[in-house]
Structure 1
C-alpha cells in the first residue's frame, strides 16, 4: 500500500470489530494540492482509510492467511464533512457478514462526535498463488510484510517509537 493511513489501533475484536485512528497533519503530501488555501483530506483517502481499517481486521482475524485484500464493492458511501489538518479521524468497522474470503462491513469515520464518512464495504481476500503457482513466493513475502507492519503498528499504538 502506497499510503499507510492507520496510525493506531484502539480496539480489535477478531471477526467482529476494529477501531483505528488517523491523525491528519499538514505533512500529508496530498494536502498541498487538495485544496490550496483550504487543505482537506480527499474523499478517496477517507474511503481508503476505511478500507485499510477493514483490511487489518480481516488479516488479523485470519492470522494473515491471505496475501491480498481488495475492495470489491462500496455501498451507501456518504461524505458528510471535511477532515482537516489537526483533526483525528476515528474509524470503526463492524462485520456484517463473512462468507469465506468475502466480508461485508459497516464502516464510519468520525472527527470527535461528528460522523464525517460512512459506507458499507465488501472486501475479498485471496492468495495470488491460488491462481498461479509461480506467485506463491510473492504471497509469502506479502504476508511477512503485513506481519511486520502489524508489529510496528502495535508498537506505535503503545506509544513506542519505531525508528
Structure 2
C-alpha cells in the first residue's frame, strides 16, 4: 500500500490534477490497484454539468494513466526522465461516474520496449461494476 505522500514522491502530478488518492495493491514494475475518491467539490463539476455532475471521461482515463505511471516508473534500471501518456487503445466507457463514487483502478504492465515505451492494461470500477477499460501507452521524455 502507498500513502498520498508516497504517491507524490513517485508521480509529478499535483492538485487539481493528482487523481490517485491511495494505492491499495502494488507490485512495482508489474501491477497496481488504486483508489480515486470522486468528490463534489472538484473543479470539473462546476461546468460538467451544472445540476448533473459527471466525471469527464478524459479524467477517468487520466486517473488510469496515473496508476499505470506508478507501475512504469518503478521498473528497475530505467533511465531518468518523465514518462508521459502517449496513447490509448480500445478504451470504452460503460457507465457514468458521479460525485460520491469511489473509482477502483487496476493496471497491469503488458510490455516495456527499449526501456522507453510502456503499455498497460487498465480498468476502472465503481462498486464492482466496470466503468472504463482499455490499453494505455507511455513514453519516456528526457
Name the residue aligned to 1:32.
46
Compare CA radii of gyration and give the structure with the larger one: 1
Q: Does 1:108 align with 2:99?
A: no
Any idea what SS the aligned residue of 1:19 has?
Answer: strand
Q: Does 1:6 align with 2:6?
A: no
Q: TM-score normalised to the size of structure 1?
A: 0.73
Q: Is the 8 A contact 1:59 1:66 kept in 2?
A: no
Deviation at 1:64, TM superposition (A): 7.8
Deviation at 1:112, TM superposition (A): 1.2
Within-5 A mapping of 1:119-134: 119-127=134-142
Q: Is the 8 A contact 1:59 1:65 kept in 2?
A: no
Q: 1:64 to 1:11 in 2, by over 3 A?
A: farther
Any idea what SS the aligned residue of 2:74 has?
Answer: helix
Where structure 1 has 5 or more consecutive residues not aligned to the other structure, the ranges are 128-163
Q: TM-score normalised to the size of structure 2?
A: 0.83
Where structure 2 has 5 or more consecutive residues not aligned to the other structure, the ranges are 1-12
Aligned partner of 1:74 among 69, 73, 88: 88
Q: What is the total number of aligned residue pairs between the two structures?
A: 127
For 2:141 and 2:77, locate their aligned partners in 1 and report how far apart those are by CA, in whole Å.
Answer: 13
More strand by percentage: 2
Name the residue aligned to 2:103.
89
Name the residue aligned to 1:147.
none
Deviation at 1:41, TM superposition (A): 0.5
